[in-house]
Structure 1
Amino acid sequence: MPTRSFAVITQYQNRNISLPKRHTKDSAGYDLASAEMVTLNPGEIHLVPTGLKVYMPPGEVLLVIIRSSWAVKKRCVLANQVGVIDRDYVDNPDNEGHIFIPIENRGPEPVIIKAGERIAQGIFVKFGVTDNDISDADRQGGFGSTTQ
């Protein structure tokens, strides 16, 4: 397995999911699209499936950020402001590391998200740890499992 790559999760293998890509050579983010059509009513938050998981090397995280056009044109935001996909989220037994995007509709009208529509971007970021770091536990689940 390459040290940094996106892959389609098993349940979406036959749904024609496109792997994320950067659209220009200087883009930082990989565009993430919805794997399914979703209707988002005003005030509603929905976990939008991407059908994807991500592999990355130690010391990296994937940050998920809403595309600016969604905030401006559709009045939608990420419910958690910035998504953090940890390296050990991939291949967990709960959901195979499925990346979901929590979108909130802050506008007055329903928003329809089409399958294949780009809604967020993922940016790989290196991070550091303190000299006295003692985190040695293993992930025990999928989305939202590290809430302790």
Structure 2
Amino acid sequence: MKRGFEVVSKDKEQALNLPYRSTTNAAGYDFEASKDFVLPSIWKANFLKVIWLLHHNKIVTEADLVSGSKDLKPFLVPTGIKAYMQNDEYLLLANRSSSPLKWNVILPNGVGIIDADYYNNESNEGEIYFQLINMGLRDITIKKGERIGQGIFMPYLQADGKDERAQVRKGGFGSSGM
């Protein structure tokens, strides 16, 4: 088994679809949401207040900034899927081209990287989540089974020499540091 997908243990009874290529020559495997998920709009709460204050050259307090920034964070949409691959590969997570058009949804950093050692980690079994931000004016509900992103298996190269700082993965999402 070189590379592929499995359903995580906690979702085995959920009748989830494994990621799939929608066309014969598609590079990406489409991932679906494993459950209904409400993705809040960034245009809620103090975010608009902070923009208004800045636009009108008003004083913006630290409390305004902290309160306003909480609405800008990405949310983790679960897939119920984990991926296995060779040690010199990773799974690149990307937007589907229709996601920004359909929902005004983006990945905040443009892509996600799933390392080979994320598979079956002790923290979350390697479940893949898509970090999403809703740029639309209203909250949206992503329904279970709706396609939320795509994954592309990619090889990578390493620099010469041993990286003395590299450690064995001990956890799930974000475990290699923030």
1:1-148 equivalent positions in 2, closer than 5 A: 2-43=1-42, 44=71, 45-134=74-163, 136-147=166-177
Q: CA deviation digits over 1:70-108, x for unaligned, max 9?
A: 112311101232100000001111000010111100110
- TM norm structure 2: 0.79
- TM norm structure 1: 0.94
Q: Which moved more, 1:80-89 or 1:133-142?
A: 133-142
Question: What residue ranges of structure 1 are gaps of 5+ in the alignment?
Answer: none
Q: Percent identity?
A: 40
Supply the distance in 1 between the matched residues of 2:23 and 2:161 (Cα, whole angstroms): 40
More strand by share: 1
Question: What residue ranges of structure 2 are gaps of 5+ in the alignment?
Answer: 43-70
Code of the aligned partner of 1:22: R
Supply the distance in 2 between the matched residues of 1:60 and 1:143 (Cα, whole angstroms): 18
**What number of residue pairs does the alignment pair up?**
147
Supply the distance in 1 between the matched residues of 2:109 and 2:129 (Cα, whole angstroms): 12
Two-structure CA RMSD over aligned residues (Å): 1.2
Q: Is the 8 A contact 2:92 2:151 kept in 1?
A: yes
**How many Å apart are 1:8 and its aligned residue?**
0.3
